[in-house]
Amino acid sequence: MSKTYIDIPSEVAEELYETEDETEDGEFHFVTTVEGDSGRWRQHHTMVLRRVKDDTFWGISYELGLTENCDSSYPWRGEWSDRPESVVATRLYPREVTTTEYRSEP
């Protein structure tokens, strides 16, 4: 069974966000940023990354504040404390699919 979450070092996540390129070691490539739901105060985004070694795609979610009094929230920077060691990325593709087939016995 493959993992659905991985930890990415905070420095790597921030580097990918700021440069929109690949990491120095070539492990991750920035793919795109997807805009998600939006409310009155915040807009949700997902940064999509490709892990080169197994050709899988991962997403890191963050929020942008839409008003001058609403701060943006980046998981790699930490909100009220020091920078976290790592951030959680969720597997986007390929996704595992479980198919259940029911058969009636004659």
So where are the chain's domains? 5-93
Q: What are 5's two structure tokens?
A: 């979450």
Q: Which segments of 39-98 are extended strands (E)? A: 42-51, 56-65, 86-93
What pLDDT, on the 0 to 100 scale, is given for residue 86? 93
58-92 pLDDT, tens per residue? 999 999 888 887 788 888 887 666 888 999 999 99
pLDDT at 97 (0 to 100): 67
Surface-to-core class of residue 67, CB atoms within 10 Å of its CB (0-12 exposed, 13-18 middle, 19+ buried): exposed
Q: Give CA 102 to chain center in angstroms.
A: 36
pLDDT (tens digit per residue) in 20-46: 888 777 889 999 999 988 888 889 999
* Whether the predicted pLDDT of 1 surpasses 80: no
